A and B are shown apart, each in its own frame.
Chain A
Amino acid sequence: MIEHRRFLFNLAVFLILPFSFLGVTAFLLPATPRASTSLLFSQIEKDLLLKQTPSPRLILVGGSNLSLGIDSMMLKEELKLNPINTGIHAKLGLPFMLNWVRENVKRGDVVVVASEYEQFFGEFAFGSEELLRTIVDVDRKNFAYLSTRQLKNAFGFIPKLAVSKIKPTEYMFTPPKVPGPYERRSFNEFGDLTGHRSEKKGSFSHTGSFAGAFNSRVIAELIRFERDINRAGARLFLSFPCFERTSFIQCRAQIKEVELQLQLSGLTILGNAERFSMQDTFMYDSPYHLRGEGTQIRTTKLIEDIENALANIPSSTP
C-alpha cells in the first residue's frame, strides 16, 4: 500500500507543474496579437449580425465552405432576403453552430445548413482546437453552446492552446496593411470572405476519405434543431457544401452515405451532393474553398434550389 501511495504522490507532484502551467496559460492569458486577427474572432461580428439583421432573413450555417464559397450580395438581390453568412470554420463543429444560431432565429427566418462532409464522421463535429479558442479566447459566453461531450473533446486541446500563447512569434506581430484572406477584417457586411476570390488556385491536398465512421448523432442534432426553429417560426433547408471534384470522386461512397442518411432523416434537402462538386480549377486552397468564378456558380445553384424550395412550401407553414 505504501508503494501505491508513493507512486501516486510522485506522479501527482510530477504532473502539478505541467497542469498548472497549462491551466494558467490557456485560461488566464488573453489571445495573442496574432490570434486576435484570426477569422475565429469574426464570430463576434457575426453574432451581432444574427442579433441585428432585420427580417426577412436567410441564415447560412456551415464552415468555411460558406465564408469562402458564397456571394451573399447575389443571394440578397435574387431572393430579396437579408443574408447572414455564419460560416467561420468547419472545426467549430456543426452542433456548436446550430446551438449558436438556434438562440438567434426569428420568426420567418430561412435557415440553410451546408456543412462540410467531415461533420458527419467520427468525432469531427464534437470538439477541436478552434472550438476551444472560440470559447476561451473569442467569447466565453460561447461555453453555453457546448455539450459535455464537446467540452471534453475541446479540453483535449488545452495543451496546444497554452503552448501557442507562449510562442514569442505570436507577440512579435504587426497586422499587415492589406488584410490576408483569413483575417477577421476580411469579412464583408454579410459575413463572406472576399479577398481571395481573384487569387490563383493554390496548392493543396485532395481529400482521400473522411476519418471515422458515420456519426448518426449529427443527424439527431439536425433533427432537434429543425424542431426547435420550427417552433420559433423559422424554416430549415439542408444543402451541400461545394467540394472539389477530384476529392468528391475519392470520397463518393461516404458522401452517398451522408446523402442517404439525410434523406432518411426526413429533413428538407435542397438539390444533391453531386450538384455541388466543383471543377478542380475553381478551388482556392482547399477542397472546400472556392475562388470567384466557382463562388458565382455555387451561389447561382443555391439560389435556384432555395427558390424552388420556397415555391413548393404551402403558405400556411411558418
Chain B
Amino acid sequence: MLFHSVDFAIFLPIVFIVYWYVIGNSLKAQNLFLVLASLLFYGWWDSRFLSLLLFSTVIDYGIGLLMGRCTTQRMRQFLLCVSLTVNLGVLAFFKYCNFFISSFNDAFSLFGQELRIDSLNIILPVGISFYTFQTLSYTIDVYRRKLEPTRDLIAFAAFVSFFPQLVAGPIERATHLLPQFYSKRTFDYHLAADGMRQILWGLFKKMVIADNCAAHANTIFDGYTEFSGSTLLLGAFFFSVQIYCDFSGYSDIAVGTSRLFGFDLMQNFAFPYFSRDVAEFWRRWHISLSTWFRDYIYIPMGGNRGKLYYRIRNTLVVFLLSGLWHGANWTFIAWGALNALYFLPLLLRNKNRLHLDTVAHGRLLPSLQELLSIASTFSMVLLAWIFFRATSLQQAISMLGSIFSSSLFTVPRFPGERKEITLVMIGVLFLVEWIGREEKYAIEKIGLAWPRPARWCAYYALMFTIVLLAGQDQQFIYFQF
C-alpha cells in the first residue's frame, strides 16, 4: 500500500479511529491491532511476503528469549550467529542471489571460460533490507546486553512490522522503538496535528517535486546517448532532487503517521543538501542507515582508531556495504566506493567532524565560504548519484564522459513538459527547507504563531499545489531496496 494512494487514504483513518476510539483503553489490544493492520498494509503488495516477515519476527523473538536465558558467552555468541546467518541469509537469497550468479558468470567469461548458471526467478520482497536490519538491531543489542529480551511477542511483532516505517524506514533501533510498545499511549492533540503537518509536507515533496523530477530524470537517463553533457548534468540534478524528495518525503510521511498513533520515530534526513562537506552530508542523509552501519559495523571494527590501514579499511567496508545494501548491482558498489573516496581525505586529516552544527546557525544567509562549500559538496554528491541511477557502470561512465566534455557548455535540451515549473518548485522547496533547516522538518514551525485561518489557508495552498502540480505517479525509489 503506497502512502499516496487511495488505499492508504481509506486505511489510515479506519486504523486511527479503531486504535483510539474502539480499543484505546487496552495497550495489548492496541499492539495486536497494530500488528494486524501492519500485516494488512504489507500484504497489500503480495501476501506471499508475509511469511518472510513472520518468519523473521518469530526467529528473532525466539533467539532473544534464548539469549536471555543463556549463562555462557559462547552460547550467546552462537545464538547471535544463528540470527545473523538466518536474517542475512534470507536477505542474500532474495536480494543478491541473481547478482552473485551473473557476477560469477561474468568472472568466468573474463578468463575465456563459458559458464552459464541460470538466474533464479525470485521476487524481491518489499522492504526486506529495512526490516532485516531492524530485527538485527534487536538481537545485537540483546547480545550486547543493551536491551532486555522481550517476552511480549505481540509487542515485538508490532516493533518489527510497524506499518509507517516497515517498507522504507527509518530503520529503528530496538532500544528506541520497542519500549514505546510497552507503555500506555495517550492521545496528544499537538503531536497528532504536527504529524498531519509533516505528512502534508512529505506528500508535497513526493508528489510535486520527486514525481516531476522523476519524469525528467527518467527521460534523460533512459536516452543518455542522445543528450549533451549539459543535459546529462541537468538529468543528474533532477535525479538528485528526486531521490532526496522521494525518500525524505516518505520518511516525513512515516514519522508523521507514527505520531498519529503516539509514537516517536527517529529523524531520517536533516537537510543533507545544505551540508558543507561529505562527512556532514553522511550525518544528515538516511541517518537511520548511516548510524546503523556506524554502530553495528564501523565501531565494532575499530572505527577511526588504530593504524592508518585499519581506518581506511573500516571506512571502505562501511561505504561498500552501504552501496551493496541499496541494490544488487555494481553501480551501487561504485557509488559506495566513490563516496568512500570523498570521505577518506576528510577522515585522514581529522576534518570529518568540522561541521556538527547547522549551517549559518542563527543567520538568515550563509557566508560566501559556506555557500561555496555547500555548492561543492552538492556537486560531488550529484556526480555520485549518476552511478546510483545508471543501469550499468558503462552508462555511468559514458554519462560522466559526456558531462566532462565541451558539450557541457551548450544549452540543455530534452523532451518533456513542465520543466520550468519543476525548476520553480525545486527553488521553492530549497527556500522553505533553508528557512526551516534548524527544525526536524522544514515546515515544523512555519506559521505556528499565525491565527488558525491563516494557517489553514497555508495548508490549503499546499494541498492545492499538490493537486495542481502532482507529477505522474512513481513508486517510492527506496521500496526496491
Q: How far is the CB of A163 from chain B (nearest CB, A)?
A: 5
On whether the beta carbons of B459 and A250 are closer than 8 Å, the reply is: no
Name B472's closest neighbour in chain A (CB-CB): A211
- Looking at B46, B223, B463, B475, the one whose CB has the most chain A CB atoms below 10 A away is B223
12 pairs, CB–CB < 8 Å, chain A vs chain B: A8-B17, A11-B196, A122-B475, A204-B415, A205-B222, A205-B223, A206-B223, A208-B218, A208-B221, A212-B475, A213-B123, A246-B223
Asked if residues B20 and A4 are in contact (CB atoms below 8 Å), the reply is yes
Please name all residues of chain A whose beta carbon is closer than 8 Å to the beta carbon of B391 when the two chains form the complex: 208
Supplied contacts A122-B475, A205-B223, 15 more A-B pairs, CB within 8 Å: A1-B24, A3-B187, A4-B24, A4-B187, A6-B189, A152-B6, A152-B7, A155-B6, A160-B470, A163-B464, A205-B218, A205-B415, A206-B222, A208-B218, A211-B474
Cβ of B449 < 8 Å from any Cβ of A? no
Contact B21 A4 (CB under 8 A): yes
- B interface footprint on A11-36 (CB within 8 Å = 1, 0 otherwise): 10010011000000000000000000
Q: Are B463 and A153 in contact (CB under 8 A)?
A: no
Interface assignment of B117: CB less than 8 Å from any CB of chain A: no
Which chain A residue has the least Cβ–Cβ distance from B260?
A: A7
A254 at interface, CB cutoff 8 A: no
- Of all A-B residue pairs in the complex, the 6 with the closest CB atoms, nearest first, are A208-B222, A159-B467, A205-B219, A156-B6, A203-B415, A3-B189
Instruction: Give the number of chain B interface residues (Cβ < 8 Å).
Output: 33
Chain B residues proximal to chain A, CB less than 8 Å: 5-7, 17, 20-21, 24, 46, 123, 187-189, 192-193, 196, 218-219, 221-223, 391, 415-416, 456, 459-460, 463-464, 467-468, 470, 474-475
A159: nearest chain-B partner, CB-CB:
B467
Least CB distance from B87 to A in Å reads 24
Please give, as numbers and ranges, the residues of chain B lying within 8 Å of A160 by CB-CB distance.
467, 470
Number of inter-chain CB pairs below 8 Å: 56
> With a CB–CB cut-off of 8 A, which chain B residues contact A204?
415
- Chain A, residues 133-161, CB within 8 Å of chain B (1/0): the string is 00000000000000000001101100110
**In this complex, what residue of A is CB-closest to B219?**
A205
B459 cross-chain contacts in A, Cβ below 8 A = 14
- Choice from B20, B24, B222 contacting A207 with Cβ under 8 Å: B222
Q: Which residues of A contact B192 (CB under 8 A)?
A: 7
Q: Which residues of A contact B7 (CB under 8 A)?
A: 152
Q: How far is the CA of A122 from the CA of B187 in the complex (A)?
A: 37
- Chain B residues whose C-beta falls within 8 Å of the C-beta of A17 in the assembled complex: 460
Q: Kindly provide the distance from the CB of B40 to the nearest chain A CB, expressed in whole angstroms.
A: 16
Check A7–B187 contact: CB distance below 8 A.
yes
A131 to B123, CA, bound (A): 30
Given the complex of chains A and B, what is the CA–CA distance between A155 and B9 in angstroms?
Answer: 12
Chain A residues near B468 (CB-CB < 8 A)? 163
Closest partner residue, chain A, to B464 (CB atom): A163
- Per-residue CB contact flags for chain A residues 170-211 toward chain B (1 = under 8 Å, else 0) read 000000000000000000000000000000000111111001
